[in-house]
Amino acid sequence: MDIATRRHFSAEDFRSRAEREQAPHTDADYGDHSLNPDLRHLIVREGLRDAAVLIPVVDHGEEASVILTKRTEKLRRHSGQIAFPGGAIDATDPTPEFAALRETEEEIGLGPEFVEVIGRMPDYITGSGFRIAPVLSIVRPGFVLTINEDEVDDAFEVPLSFLMDPANHSRDSRIWQEKERFFYAMPFGDRHIWGVTAGIIRTLYERLYA
C-alpha cells in the first residue's frame, strides 16, 4: 500500500468524511430491505425498536482500524455474530450517541474518554425489528478493553482499508420466511462479517468512500 493510499484510510481522512454525516437525515433510506425490495413490507414496519451502535475507528496514524465484536452464543438475538458495539436505546438515554457510548463501555470496557463522536449516519432498519443509529467516532489509542462475557466473546480490529474496499463486499443469500433473502458478507480471515453489520459497513462505504 503506497503512502497516498494509506493516508486515504487514516483517521484524519475518515474524520473529514464523517463530519459531513450529521443527523437528522431526512432523505435517506437504508436497511436490510435495500437488497430485498420485495421484502420491504416485512422489514420497514410499525413498532421498530430504536438502537444505536458505535463505529469506532482507531487512530493508528495513516492506517486506521475499526473495532468489531463477536457476540456471545448466549444472546437471544444475533448470537455468535460479528457486530459493532451497541444495543437498544433506553428511555433514560438522552441521545443515540449517549446510548452507543454507554453500550460500548458496558460491552467491551472502552470508556468515553477515549472516544470522540464525529457524526452519525442515517438509520439502518433490520429484518429483526430494529432501527439502528450508526454513530461515527474516532478512538484514541491507549485503551485497554474489558470484555463483558455475558454479551461478548471477543473484540478485534479490522483495517479500515479492508472494510472500505468494495472488492471485499460480496452478496450472499439465505432462505427466510420461504423467500430468498440477500445480504452482504465480508469474510476477514476466520471472521465472518455478514448481515446487519456488513450492511452498515456497506452503507458507510457508499456514503463516505464510493
CATH of 3-206, picked from 3.40.50.300, 3.30.910.20, 1.10.1740.10, 3.90.79.10, is: 3.90.79.10
Confidence of residue 24 (pLDDT cuts 50, 70, 90): confident
Q: Which helix (H) or strand (E) holds 171?
A: strand 170-176
What are the domain boundaries of the chain?
A: 3-206
Position 30 scores a pLDDT of: 95
Position 3 scores a pLDDT of: 41
63 three-class SS? coil
Distance CA 18, CA 32 (A): 22
Percent of the residues in the chain that have a pLDDT greater than 90, as a whole number: 75
Mean pLDDT in residue range 98-115? 97
Distance CA 155, CA 196 (A): 17
Cell triple for 191: 471472521
Q: How many CA atoms lie within 13 A of 196 on its CB side?
A: 27
Q: Which of 98, 90, 176, 188 is nearest to 135 (CA)?
A: 98
Q: What is the pLDDT of residues 167-187, one digit of tens each?
A: 999 999 888 777 788 999 999
Q: Per-residue pLDDT for 133 more than 60?
A: yes
Residue count of the chain: 210
Mean pLDDT in residue range 9-32? 92
Q: Which of 142, 161, 147 is nearest to 66 (CA)?
A: 161
Q: Per-residue pLDDT for 104 more than 90?
A: yes
Q: Which of 143, 128, 134 is nearest to 49 (CA)?
A: 128
Q: 68 with 78: CB under 8 angstroms?
A: no
Position 180 scores a pLDDT of: 86
